[in-house]
Structure 1
Amino acid sequence: MIESLIINEDTCYGMAEEKASDYFQSLYQQVMQKSYVTTLTRDIQSWKHNHIHHHSFVTFLSRRKRKPTSFEYHSYLQWLDYTGKLDNYLDRSISYIFMRDLGKALDSNDTQTRIQSVVASLKNNFTQPKENRENKNELFSMAWLYRWAQKEAIELTIIWVMNKLKTVANHIPKGMDANHAQRKLIKIIAGVILHEVEEMGDKIPAEERAQRLDRAIRLGYAYGLTYPFIDDLLDSKVLSNKEKKQYSNLIRTTLTTGAVPKLGGGWEEKNQALITFIHSELREGFEYIKAQQRPETIKSFFEQSYVFFQSQEVDREKDLSNGNYTNEELFIPVILKSASSRLIVRSVITADEDEGFDKRTFYYGIYNQLADDFADMFEDLENGAVTPYTYYLKYHDQRADLINPFELYWSVISNLIHHVYQSDKKAREVILNRAINGLKRFKERVGSKKYNEVMELFASGNSKFNALIQKMVSKADNVDFFDKLLRDHMITNLKIERKEQEEFQESIERVREQINHLLPIAKDENAPLLSEPITEAANYSLEGDGKRLRPIISWIMGINEYGLSQSAIVPLLRSLEFMHTASLIFDDLPSQDNASFRRGRSTLHMVYNNAIAELTGLFLTQKAIEEQASLDDFDSKSVLKLVHYSAQMTAEMCKGQAMDLGSRGKPLTVDQLNMLCFYKTGIAFEAALIMPAILANAKDFEMRALKKYAYHSGIAFQIKDDLLDVEGDLNTLGKPVGKDADNNNSTFVSILGVDGAKKAMWEHYCLAMETLHEIPRNTAFLKHLLNYIVHRDH
Structure 2
Amino acid sequence: MIKELLINADSCYRQAEQKAEHYFKSLYEQVEQKTYISTLTEDIRLWKRNHIHNYSLFSRGKRKPDPRQYHPYIQWLNYTGKLDNYLNRSISYIFMRDLGKSLDSPDTLNRIKSVVENLKIDLTKENKNKAFSMAGLYRLAQKEGVESGLIWVLNKLKTVSESIPKGMDAEQAQRKLIKIIAGVIMQEIEEMNEETTSEERTRRLDKAIRLGYSYGLTYPFIDDLLDAKILSDNEEKQYTDLIRTALTTGVVPEFGEWIGNNVELMRYIHSELREAFDYISANQHQETKIGFFEQSYVFFNSQEVDRVKSLSNANYTNEGLYIPVILKSSSSRLIVRSVIGASEDKELDNRTFFYGIYNQLADDFADMFDDLKDGAVTPYTYYLKYHESRPDLINPFELYWTVISNLIHNVYNSDRKTCEIILDRAINGLKRYKERVGTKRYNEVMGIFASGDPAFNKLIQNIVRKADDVDFFDKLLRDHMITILKNERIEKEEFMNMIKSLRHQINDMLNIPKTENIFLAEDQIINAANYSLEGEGKRLRPILAWLMGVNAYGLNRSAIEPLLKSLEYMHTASLIFDDLPSQDNASTRRGRRTLHEMQSIAVAELTGLFLTQKAVEEQTSLQQFDSDTILKLIKYSAQTTANMCRGQTMDLESKRMQLTLEQLNVMCFYKTGIGFEASLIMPAILAKVNEGEMDALKKFARHAGIAFQIKDDLLDVEGDTSLLGKPIGQDAENNSSTFVSILGQEDAEKEMWENYCLAMEALQEVPRNAPFLKHLLDYIINRDH
TM-score interval, normalised by the smaller of the two chains: over 0.9
Cα gap change, 1:33/1:771 in structure 2, threshold over 3 Å: closer, same or farther?
same
Is 1:712 the counterpart of 2:703 in the alignment?
A: yes
SS in 1 for 2:764: helix
Structure 2 partner of 1:732 = 723
1:668 Cα deviation from its structure 2 partner: 1.8
Cα gap change, 1:562/1:231 in structure 2, threshold over 3 Å: closer, same or farther?
same
Cα gap change, 1:540/1:124 in structure 2, threshold over 3 Å: closer, same or farther?
same
Structure 1 partner of 2:116 = 119
1:713 Cα deviation from its structure 2 partner: 0.6
Which of 174, 194, 205 aligns to 1:182? It is: 174
Which of 344, 353, 364 aligns to 2:355? It is: 364
CA displacement 1:718-773 (0-9 Å, x = unmatched):
11122222233333322232322233222222222222211111100111112222
Is 1:67 the counterpart of 2:64 in the alignment?
A: yes
Aligned counterparts of 1:252 and 1:210: Cα–Cα separation in 2: 34
SS in 2 for 1:189: helix
Is 1:241 the counterpart of 2:233 in the alignment?
A: yes
SS in 1 for 2:375: coil
1:656 Cα deviation from its structure 2 partner: 2.0
Is 1:455 the counterpart of 2:454 in the alignment?
A: no
Is 1:668 the counterpart of 2:684 in the alignment?
A: no
SS in 1 for 2:393: coil
Amino acid in structure 1 at the alignment position of 2:720: D
Cα gap change, 1:528/1:671 in structure 2, threshold over 3 Å: closer, same or farther?
closer
The correspondence of residues 11-90 of structure 1 with structure 2, limited to 5 A, is 11-55=11-55, 60-62=59-61, 65-90=62-87
Give the TM-score, by structure 1 length.
0.96
Amino acid in structure 1 at the alignment position of 2:180: I
Aligned counterparts of 2:202 and 2:3: Cα–Cα separation in 1: 34
Give the unaligned 5+ runs of structure 1. Answer: 131-135
The correspondence of residues 244-283 of structure 1 with structure 2, limited to 5 A, is 244-269=236-261, 271-283=262-274
Aligned counterparts of 1:466 and 1:298: Cα–Cα separation in 2: 47
1:5 Cα deviation from its structure 2 partner: 5.4
1:322 Cα deviation from its structure 2 partner: 1.9
Aligned counterparts of 1:206 and 1:253: Cα–Cα separation in 2: 39
CA displacement 1:124-151 (0-9 Å, x = unmatched):
1112112xxxxx4232332222111111
The correspondence of residues 187-226 of structure 1 with structure 2, limited to 5 A, is 187-226=179-218
Cα gap change, 1:782/1:529 in structure 2, threshold over 3 Å: closer, same or farther?
closer
Which of 484, 494, 512 aligns to 2:485? It is: 494
Is 1:511 the counterpart of 2:502 in the alignment?
A: yes
Moved more, 428-437 or 648-657: 648-657
SS in 1 for 2:394: coil
Whether the 8 Å CA contact 2:651–2:737 is kept in 1: the answer is no
Whether the 8 Å CA contact 1:582–1:617 is kept in 2: the answer is yes
Cα gap change, 1:207/1:529 in structure 2, threshold over 3 Å: closer, same or farther?
closer
CA displacement 1:491-512 (0-9 Å, x = unmatched):
0000001111111221222221
1:592 Cα deviation from its structure 2 partner: 2.2
SS in 2 for 1:80: helix
Whether the 8 Å CA contact 1:582–1:616 is kept in 2: the answer is yes
Is 1:107 the counterpart of 2:99 in the alignment?
A: no
1:209 Cα deviation from its structure 2 partner: 0.7
Structure 2 partner of 1:575 = 566
Cα gap change, 1:213/1:11 in structure 2, threshold over 3 Å: closer, same or farther?
same
Q: Percent identity?
A: 69
SS in 1 for 2:60: helix
Moved more, 357-366 or 140-149: 140-149
The correspondence of residues 378-389 of structure 1 with structure 2, limited to 5 A, is 378-389=369-380
CA displacement 1:225-263 (0-9 Å, x = unmatched):
000000000000221122112111111111111111111
Aligned counterparts of 2:540 and 2:9: Cα–Cα separation in 1: 57
Amino acid in structure 2 at the alignment position of 1:51: H
Whether the 8 Å CA contact 1:252–1:306 is kept in 2: the answer is yes
Structure 2 partner of 1:133 = none
Aligned counterparts of 1:754 and 1:701: Cα–Cα separation in 2: 36
CA displacement 1:683-712 (0-9 Å, x = unmatched):
100111122222233343322221111000
Whether the 8 Å CA contact 1:70–1:488 is kept in 2: the answer is no
Structure 2 partner of 1:340 = 331
Structure 2 partner of 1:465 = 456
1:154 Cα deviation from its structure 2 partner: 1.4
Moved more, 778-787 or 414-423: 778-787
Aligned counterparts of 2:651 and 2:341: Cα–Cα separation in 1: 52
Which of 472, 481, 485 aligns to 2:472? It is: 481
SS in 2 for 1:61: coil
Whether the 8 Å CA contact 1:665–1:746 is kept in 2: the answer is no
Aligned counterparts of 1:368 and 1:250: Cα–Cα separation in 2: 29
1:3 Cα deviation from its structure 2 partner: 6.9
Whether the 8 Å CA contact 1:185–1:221 is kept in 2: the answer is yes
Amino acid in structure 2 at the alignment position of 1:554: A
1:335 Cα deviation from its structure 2 partner: 0.8
Amino acid in structure 2 at the alignment position of 1:514: Q
Which of 549, 552, 559 aligns to 2:543? It is: 552
Aligned counterparts of 1:312 and 1:210: Cα–Cα separation in 2: 35
Give the unaligned 5+ runs of structure 2. Answer: none
Aligned counterparts of 2:129 and 2:265: Cα–Cα separation in 1: 34
Structure 2 partner of 1:536 = 527
Aligned counterparts of 1:466 and 1:634: Cα–Cα separation in 2: 74
Aligned counterparts of 2:71 and 2:194: Cα–Cα separation in 1: 29
Aligned counterparts of 2:586 and 2:739: Cα–Cα separation in 1: 20
Aligned counterparts of 1:639 and 1:374: Cα–Cα separation in 2: 66
CA displacement 1:313-348 (0-9 Å, x = unmatched):
111111112222111111111111110100111111
Aligned counterparts of 1:722 and 1:762: Cα–Cα separation in 2: 14
1:525 Cα deviation from its structure 2 partner: 2.0
CA displacement 1:14-34 (0-9 Å, x = unmatched):
111111111111111111111
Structure 2 partner of 1:165 = 157
Whether the 8 Å CA contact 1:142–1:162 is kept in 2: the answer is no
Aligned counterparts of 2:759 and 2:308: Cα–Cα separation in 1: 50
Whether the 8 Å CA contact 2:211–2:340 is kept in 1: the answer is yes
Whether the 8 Å CA contact 1:459–1:466 is kept in 2: the answer is yes
SS in 2 for 1:254: helix
SS in 1 for 2:312: coil
Cα gap change, 1:778/1:242 in structure 2, threshold over 3 Å: closer, same or farther?
farther
Amino acid in structure 1 at the alignment position of 2:734: N
SS in 2 for 1:566: coil
Whether the 8 Å CA contact 1:71–1:489 is kept in 2: the answer is yes
Cα gap change, 1:531/1:104 in structure 2, threshold over 3 Å: closer, same or farther?
closer
The correspondence of residues 561-710 of structure 1 with structure 2, limited to 5 A, is 561-710=552-701
Structure 1 partner of 2:7 = 7
SS in 1 for 2:736: coil
1:530 Cα deviation from its structure 2 partner: 6.7
SS in 2 for 1:60: coil
Whether the 8 Å CA contact 1:500–1:780 is kept in 2: the answer is no
Aligned counterparts of 2:451 and 2:721: Cα–Cα separation in 1: 69
Aligned counterparts of 2:257 and 2:653: Cα–Cα separation in 1: 57
The correspondence of residues 400-411 of structure 1 with structure 2, limited to 5 A, is 400-411=391-402
Over the residues paired in the alignment, what is the CA RMSD in angstroms? Answer: 1.8
Structure 1 partner of 2:734 = 743
Amino acid in structure 2 at the alignment position of 1:273: E
Whether the 8 Å CA contact 2:383–2:396 is kept in 1: the answer is yes
The correspondence of residues 146-157 of structure 1 with structure 2, limited to 5 A, is 146-157=138-149
Aligned counterparts of 1:330 and 1:91: Cα–Cα separation in 2: 35
Structure 2 partner of 1:316 = 307
Aligned counterparts of 2:76 and 2:662: Cα–Cα separation in 1: 45
Cα gap change, 1:791/1:202 in structure 2, threshold over 3 Å: closer, same or farther?
farther
CA displacement 1:260-307 (0-9 Å, x = unmatched):
1111223334x2211111000100110111111122111111111011
Structure 1 partner of 2:221 = 229
1:56 Cα deviation from its structure 2 partner: 6.6
